[in-house]
Chains A and B, each alone.
Chain A
Amino acid sequence: MKNARLIRRAFEVDQYLVLRTPQVEAAIQQMITALQNEADPVIYLSGLSGSGVSTVLAETSQSINRASSKTYFTVARPEIDDGYLPSEYLLHHFGFKFATRAFQHHKKLSPEAIALGGMLAQSIILVEDYLAGVASVEQKRTHMHQWSQLAAPPISLRIVLAGPSDHIKWSWASHRPTGPTVLIEEWRFNDLFRIYLKDVSSLIYSTYKLDVELPLHAKSLFKVSQGNTARLLEYLRECVRHTILSAETGVCAKLFKLSFREIVNANAKSLRDLTDN
């Protein structure tokens, strides 16, 4: 019973050890400003995988909801058929049913998509992983042409195209935004990084009552994370999980000498011992 509680607590780390970075905060503000500025109908949101692209997109949509009367829709690409063109994504997202390939692979928007765009006038469409499923340069050209048509008068939708700048799953098309872009920066080894680590230490203490001084290990943490937020947080979560599973009161400094793989292996062993008992 005690072990079960311990295991559950260890796995809740993923849920609770989340802290927004200053880069993400800055990107959200930039995005809101860009959306308030009517000049750019298509705005790109970019950053390396794990930098917080999805967080910025989610927070932006919530901010739009709170701050203005504008309607927004978040279109999550991976949930939808990879072969769909942007106009088909929209039709599918809004519950219209059509036989696949009914609209063919044309650069021109279908009359149905134009009508739908007209009905959604002035709305903001936030597209996650906009290049997922795009397999060639020609396809990418068609996609981008359709997005720009949806953003141009008379439809005039505001469109945010978000995607990681390093690699997009199931995509062979490169992501090189050609329009106004909000870029989420990676970490640099400076005071900002140390302050963030201090905030994470406080979060660990307030949530788990575990003592840890992460800024003391800033160098090794920067090395292991390579300046990427997701890598840093995943590493720290494994460290905290290890401390919980070994029933210690503080995160041992020795842990930070281990690689990510070594900690994961150590946690797996601890977990096996606990479940065997």
Chain B
Amino acid sequence: MPNRSVTLPITEESFSSWCHRLQPRTEAQWRVIDDILNLNHDSPSRLRSRDPDFESLLAFESCIKEAFGLKKLAFFERFRADCVWLVPHTVADYACADCIAEALRQHGRIVLLKSWRYLSAPICPRHTKILTDYGTRDSSYLQFLTGPSVPLRLTITGSALGAVIKAGLKMQALMLKLEKQVVSNPHSAGRQEFSIFHARKHIMEFLLHAAQYGAGLATQFITTPRAADRAQTDVGFKLLMKVRALQANAAERTCALIMMGIITGCVSRQEIKELDTQTESNRSWWSCRWDPESLGRSCSQIYYSRDRTYSRQIRDALNTFNHKQTREFIKGMAF
């Protein structure tokens, strides 16, 4: 028999969002919700500081199950991530401002979607908008009213932004489909979709990384460059790529998705031309264009005279794709 005292999750809702909407009545219920949402910072709970959405989900689930009297095991399946490449909960809460307003009007509560934590999903497909960065997680939810605490640093607007979002959405759908295939098949290692996914991921990490004296091309193409982080000067290039990709904001991730699509041949010549036409007037100091060879040349310029330890790994990733546009990028990179 269904437990009618519990609010049902909305499609694609994240676990922490659902917990936030639950209305605790008993002390045990209050305690478990506090633990999950970190409302009580003095709590010595073992769950504190864990990712309530995708890390140790079983531990969180068992607490909720016990406190709210839920029995059905399959109930929690809906909260599982469809992707493996996730934005850490400690980095930022990305959300679509329009979806949030709609949820408030429709459900009387803020509803956060689990896909907003997927690194390859920086755009809201419903409202065709780049997700807003609301800063680090705050369980009061007041940040969703006071507006974005961290600007996206976008340098493009209007039709240029529209063209970027259109291309980004196409690549987002492709990447999510591929990632879903990889997640749904636990034995996919060694299979083609597995190697393609990891090669695409590696190219995006390369485009999103931020070195101590510069940054990946996708972090300064449609956004103003990031401030240098001196704390990570001693970190190796490979780790820096991984870390900075996770720290990239939604606009930078959109740009990386499109660039990866161009390099791997998923974005057509026609679409590249459209992007070039639309973003031409918005281009600031970058003389660079969206075509694969220009992208390769720009990447090469960024790392000219610097450590080139990345070159073998990026070459391996690029070799996964036998596309004309990939070859043009390699030519631009002048490996």
Interface residues of B in 62-106 (CB under 8 A from A): 100-101, 104-106
**Chain A 138-161: CB-based contact to B (< 8 A → 1; otherwise 0):** 000000000000000000000000
Chain A residues with Cβ below 8 Å from B20 are 95
Chain A residues with Cβ below 8 Å from B58 are none
Q: Which residue of A lies closest to B105 (CB)?
A: A71
Distance in Å: Cβ of A99 to nearest Cβ of chain B: 9
Chain A residues with Cβ below 8 Å from B106 are 71
Interface residues of A in 100-140 (CB under 8 A from B): 111-112, 115-116, 119-120, 123
Distance in Å: Cβ of B331 to nearest Cβ of chain A: 50
Give the CA-CA distance A59 to B217 in the complex, in Å: 59
The answer to the question of B146 belonging to the interface, with a C-beta cut-off of 8 Å to chain A, is yes
Please determine whether A95 and B100 come into contact, CB atoms closer than 8 angstroms. Answer: no
The A-B contact count (CB < 8 A) is 44
Please determine whether A95 and B145 come into contact, CB atoms closer than 8 angstroms. Answer: no
Please determine whether B105 and A96 come into contact, CB atoms closer than 8 angstroms. Answer: no
Q: Which residue of A lies closest to B110 (CB)?
A: A95
- In the complex with contacts A94-B108, A119-B105, A112-B145 CB distance below 8 A: yes
Please determine whether A123 and B105 come into contact, CB atoms closer than 8 angstroms. Answer: yes
Chain A residues with Cβ below 8 Å from B142 are 91, 96-98, 112
Chain A residues with Cβ below 8 Å from B21 are 95
Other-chain contact of B105, A93, A95, A115, A120 (Cβ < 8 Å): A120
The answer to the question of B151 belonging to the interface, with a C-beta cut-off of 8 Å to chain A, is no
The answer to the question of B322 belonging to the interface, with a C-beta cut-off of 8 Å to chain A, is no
Distance in Å: Cβ of B65 to nearest Cβ of chain A: 22
The answer to the question of A208 belonging to the interface, with a C-beta cut-off of 8 Å to chain B, is no
Chain B residues with Cβ below 8 Å from A97 are 39, 139-142
- Count contacts on B: residues with CB < 8 A to the other chain: 18
- Count contacts on A: residues with CB < 8 A to the other chain: 16
Distance in Å: Cβ of B96 to nearest Cβ of chain A: 13
The answer to the question of B236 belonging to the interface, with a C-beta cut-off of 8 Å to chain A, is no
Distance in Å: Cβ of A94 to nearest Cβ of chain B: 6
Chain A residues with Cβ below 8 Å from B110 are 94-95
Please determine whether B146 and A112 come into contact, CB atoms closer than 8 angstroms. Answer: yes
The answer to the question of A73 belonging to the interface, with a C-beta cut-off of 8 Å to chain B, is yes
Interface residues of B in 16-39 (CB under 8 A from A): 20-21, 39
Among B20, B100, B105, max chain A CB count under 10 A is at B105
Please determine whether A96 and B141 come into contact, CB atoms closer than 8 angstroms. Answer: yes
Distance in Å: Cβ of A54 to nearest Cβ of chain B: 19
Other-chain contact of B104, A111, A112, A116 (Cβ < 8 Å): A116
Give the CA-CA distance A98 to B147 in the complex, in Å: 16
Q: Which residue of A lies closest to B100 (CB)?
A: A119
The answer to the question of B109 belonging to the interface, with a C-beta cut-off of 8 Å to chain A, is yes
Question: Can you list 20 pairs linking A and B with CB atoms under 8 Å apart?
Answer: A91-B142, A93-B108, A94-B104, A94-B108, A94-B109, A94-B110, A95-B21, A95-B110, A95-B141, A97-B39, A97-B140, A97-B141, A97-B142, A111-B145, A112-B142, A115-B145, A115-B146, A115-B147, A119-B145, A123-B105
Additional 17 contacts, C-beta under 8 A, given A116-B104, A120-B104: A71-B105, A91-B142, A94-B108, A95-B21, A95-B108, A95-B109, A95-B110, A95-B141, A96-B140, A97-B142, A111-B146, A115-B145, A115-B147, A116-B145, A119-B101, A119-B105, A119-B145
